[in-house]
């Protein structure tokens, strides 16, 4: 309803309002719409003047590129004026010049893929399809709008990332000529800002959660590899291509094992990034030491550099690197129960659960084992039993405070108290039932005698 009312306002001003992009494409595929992209021949200045006149809230989200966001009757609409773009050499995303056009056909050919350039007249429902998008939609194909796909991909290399993103979200294939052009232009990704690369990478990693189409992350990642885009955006990871692993444990090379591990873990960004990068240290470890033993620590350091480069928030970097650093613990399922208890306590509940998920994804992503993963199942059993028994995971969960201990032992606050508390915490990982004041004070006496 707000959209029709908006289209009526445009019509009264002499312009036809069209829906475009996902707003038209998705309903034709039976998928939900996630944002409202609308377009017309009205210039940004005219759109903003109309908004002021009618009391419609608007945001200038890039009027220089023809974009104004309208907030109308509870809906949010991104309006872009029909335009023609010219790009500087290199693959940078920003056009050098934008000129407005009254021609919908011209607008269609500056868009990326034919399925994204189908227009729907909001008032009549009539479809305008200047680039043959309807046919490609039927064939589930991503095809560049221009007859010369090298121009589309060469002008704005972000379209290469978008291609992998749409392939993963929608389960589409890339048309051959478009794919070849994207490959030829992949070096242009070096001119795209890390924030935009990250945004598309995140969407690929979480693509199956968007519309519930399974296998999206693997599909998108493999396409990035095929396009040689991976070598530009994640060269450290691309080094795993062709690096063989012990065939009794692994069906895939290091790179494809990582891709599969991503598909085997639940759609949380932290977990998916950890799965993607968990073995990123293997090629470098192999090169430096002739074996892969140190790849967890090396990989965590490398992941830190990669994630910083892509401008991930500090909390994501901290979590992902901690998961990578610890992903090799108890690989052979030989650790003693108390060792596992102490490790789980040190990791904390949330990280422990993430490490359990990562171990399962690591094993399943090897392509050799399906079903239960013994080490992960065992950690999970122990973790849940610790939680059920009220085991403390942090010092503040101990049933005594530093002041209680100091008072009971008759010693002043000092580093010795810290040492005692750390000892009590470790003790309670193994014996959660001792997390009560009487038992802990008694134990603190033994600990102070040993300190
Ligand atoms: P979604 O449903 O995920 O929002 P979308 O197709 O609507 O997908 P948007 O990123 O919202 O994608 O962009 C809206 C439309 O703008 C696209 O469908 C496409 O026609 C055009 N577009 C966006 N970014 C680019 C780009 N870098 N190059 C060319 N056209 C683009
Ligand atoms: Mg959209």
Question: Which bin fits 129, alpha (ψ -120 to 50), beta or left (φ > 0)?
Answer: beta
- With tokens 């939680």, the residue in question is 387
User: 156 falls in which pLDDT band (50, 70, 90)?
Assistant: very high
* Residue of 16 and 369 predicted with greater confidence: 16
**Ligand 1 center to 126 CA (angstroms):** 20
The C-alpha angle with vertex 134 and arms to 129 and 140, in degrees rounded to 5, equals 145
Q: Are 370 and 360 in contact (CB under 8 A)?
A: no
| Residue identifier of the C-alpha nearest atom 16 of ligand 1 | 21
Q: What is residue 183's predicted lDDT score, i.e. its pLDDT?
A: 98
| Residue identifier of the C-alpha nearest atom 17 of ligand 1 | 21
| Residue identifier of the C-alpha nearest atom 18 of ligand 1 | 21
Mean pLDDT, range 72-97, rounded to an integer:
89
**Ligand 2 center to 22 CA (angstroms):** 5
- Nearest ligand, CA 26: 1
Q: Quick one: which of 353, 378, 376 has its CA closest to 364?
A: 376
Mean pLDDT, range 264-288, rounded to an integer:
95
- Nearest ligand, CA 130: 1
The C-alpha angle with vertex 19 and arms to 17 and 23, in degrees rounded to 5, equals 160
**Ligand 1 center to 232 CA (angstroms):** 23
Residues 348 and 28: their CA atoms lie apart, in Å, by 46
| Torsion (CA) 52, 17, 65, 25 in degrees, nearest 10 | 140
- The pair of structure tokens assigned to 94 is 């920003």
Mean pLDDT, range 44-60, rounded to an integer:
96
Beta-sheet pairing, 18-20 with 67-72: unpaired
Q: Tens digit of pLDDT for each residue in 300-355?
A: 999 999 999 999 999 999 999 999 999 999 988 899 999 999 999 999 999 999 99
What residues does the ion ligand 2 have nearby, CB within 5 Å?
21-22, 35, 37
| Residue identifier of the C-alpha nearest atom 22 of ligand 1 | 111
User: 200 falls in which pLDDT band (50, 70, 90)?
Assistant: very high
User: 198 falls in which pLDDT band (50, 70, 90)?
Assistant: very high
**Ligand 1 center to 418 CA (angstroms):** 56
- Is residue 224 over pLDDT 70? yes
Residues 285 and 398: their CA atoms lie apart, in Å, by 41
DSSP 227-260: TT-HHHH-HHHHTTTT----TTT-SS-HHHHHHH
Phi and psi at residue 2, to the nearest 5°: -60, -35
- Is residue 208 over pLDDT 80? yes
**Ligand 1 center to 116 CA (angstroms):** 7
Q: Are 161 and 229 in contact (CB under 8 A)?
A: yes
Q: Tens digit of pLDDT for each residue in 110-121?
A: 999 999 999 999
Q: What separation in angstroms does the CA of 111 have from each of 5, 100, 144, 374?
A: 26, 14, 8, 50
Residues 262 and 205: their CA atoms lie apart, in Å, by 8
Q: What is residue 249's predicted lDDT score, i.e. its pLDDT?
A: 79
Pocket test for ligand 1, best of 19, 105, 111 (most atoms within 8 A of CB): 111
Pocket (CB within 6 angstroms of ligand 1): 20-22, 26, 34-35, 37, 111-112, 116-117, 156, 158-159
Q: How many CA atoms lie within 13 A of 356 on its CB side?
A: 21
Q: Quick one: which of 299, 292, 347 has its CA closest to 321?
A: 299
- The pair of structure tokens assigned to 179 is 């794919």
Closest ligand 1 atom to Cα of 25? 6
Q: Are 74 and 2 in contact (CB under 8 A)?
A: yes
Q: What is residue 96's predicted lDDT score, i.e. its pLDDT?
A: 84
Q: What is residue 65's predicted lDDT score, i.e. its pLDDT?
A: 87
Q: Tens digit of pLDDT for each residue in 402-447?
A: 999 999 999 988 889 999 999 999 999 999 999 999 999 999 998 8
Pocket test for ligand 1, best of 116, 144, 200, 204 (most atoms within 8 A of CB): 116
User: 451 falls in which pLDDT band (50, 70, 90)?
Assistant: low
Percent helix, strand, coil in the chain (nearest 5)? Answer: 55, 10, 35
Phi and psi at residue 73, to the nearest 5°: 50, 45
| Torsion (CA) 329, 334, 339, 344 in degrees, nearest 10 | 50
Q: Mean pLDDT, the chain, as a whole number?
A: 95
Closest ligand 1 atom to Cα of 33? 2
Pocket test for ligand 1, best of 84, 108, 112, 149 (most atoms within 8 A of CB): 112
pTM of the model: 0.95
* Residue of 98 and 225 predicted with greater confidence: 225
Q: What percent of the chain has pLDDT over 90?
A: 86
Mean pLDDT, range 154-174, rounded to an integer:
97
Closest ligand 1 atom to Cα of 203? 3
User: 290 falls in which pLDDT band (50, 70, 90)?
Assistant: confident
* DSSP letter assigned to residue 63: G
Residues 34 and 47: their CA atoms lie apart, in Å, by 23
Q: Are 18 and 118 in contact (CB under 8 A)?
A: no
Q: What is residue 245's predicted lDDT score, i.e. its pLDDT?
A: 81
Closest ligand 1 atom to Cα of 159? 27
Q: Quick one: which of 157, 65, 168, 177 has its CA closest to 114?
A: 177
- The pair of structure tokens assigned to 287 is 């090169």
Residues 157 and 448: their CA atoms lie apart, in Å, by 64
**Ligand 2 center to 21 CA (angstroms):** 6
């Amino acid at each position: 309803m707000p959209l029709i009312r908006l289209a009526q306002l445009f019509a009264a001003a002499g312009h036809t309002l069209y829906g475009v992009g996902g707003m038209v494409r998705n309903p034709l595929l039976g998928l939900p719409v996630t944002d409202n992209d609308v377009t017309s021949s009205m210039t940004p200045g005219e759109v903003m003047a109309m908004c002021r006149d009618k009391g419609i809230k608007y945001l200038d989200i890039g009027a220089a590129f023809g974009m104004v966001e309208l907030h109308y009757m509870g809906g949010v609409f991104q309006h872009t004026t029909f335009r023609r773009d010219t790009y500087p050499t290199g693959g940078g995303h920003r056009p050098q010049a934008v000129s407005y056009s009254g021609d919908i056909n011209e607008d269609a050919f500056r868009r990326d893929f034919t399925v994204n350039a189908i227009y729907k007249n909001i008032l009549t429902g009539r479809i305008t399809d200047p680039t043959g998008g309807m046919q490609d939609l039927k064939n589930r194909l991503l095809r560049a709008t221009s007859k010369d796909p090298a121009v589309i991909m060469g002008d704005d290399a972000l379209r290469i990332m978008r291609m992998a993103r749409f392939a993963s979200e929608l389960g589409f294939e890339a048309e051959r000529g478009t794919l070849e052009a994207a490959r030829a232009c992949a070096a242009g990704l070096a001119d795209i800002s890390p924030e935009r690369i990250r945004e598309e990478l995140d969407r690929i990693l979480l693509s199956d959660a968007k519309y519930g189409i399974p296998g999206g992350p693997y599909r998108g990642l493999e396409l990035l590899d095929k396009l040689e885009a991976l070598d530009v955006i994640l060269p450290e990871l691309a080094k795993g291509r062709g690096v063989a692993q012990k065939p009794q444990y692994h069906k895939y090379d290091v790179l494809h094992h990582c891709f599969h591990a991503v598909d085997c873990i639940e759609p949380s960004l932290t977990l998916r990034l950890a799965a993607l990068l968990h073995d990123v240290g293997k090629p470098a470890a192999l090169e430096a030491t002739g074996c892969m033993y140190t790849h967890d620590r090396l990989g965590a350091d490398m992941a830190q550099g990669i994630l910083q480069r892509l401008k991930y928030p500090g909390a994501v970097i901290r979590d992902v690197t901690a998961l990578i650093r610890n992903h090799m613990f108890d690989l052979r399922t030989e650790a003693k129960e108390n060792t596992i208890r102490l490790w789980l306590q040190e990791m904390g509940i949330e990280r422990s659960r993430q490490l359990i998920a990562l171990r399962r994804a690591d094993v399943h992503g090897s392509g050799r084992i399906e079903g239960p993963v013994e080490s992960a199942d065992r950690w999970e059993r122990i973790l849940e039993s610790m939680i059920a028994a009220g085991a403390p995971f942090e010092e503040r969960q101990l049933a005594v405070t530093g002041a209680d201990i100091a008072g009971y032992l008759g010693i002043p606050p000092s580093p010795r108290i810290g040492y005692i508390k750390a000892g009590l915490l470790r003790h309670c990982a193994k014996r959660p039932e001792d997390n009560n004041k009487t038992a802990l004070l008694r134990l603190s006496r033994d600990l102070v005698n040993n300190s």
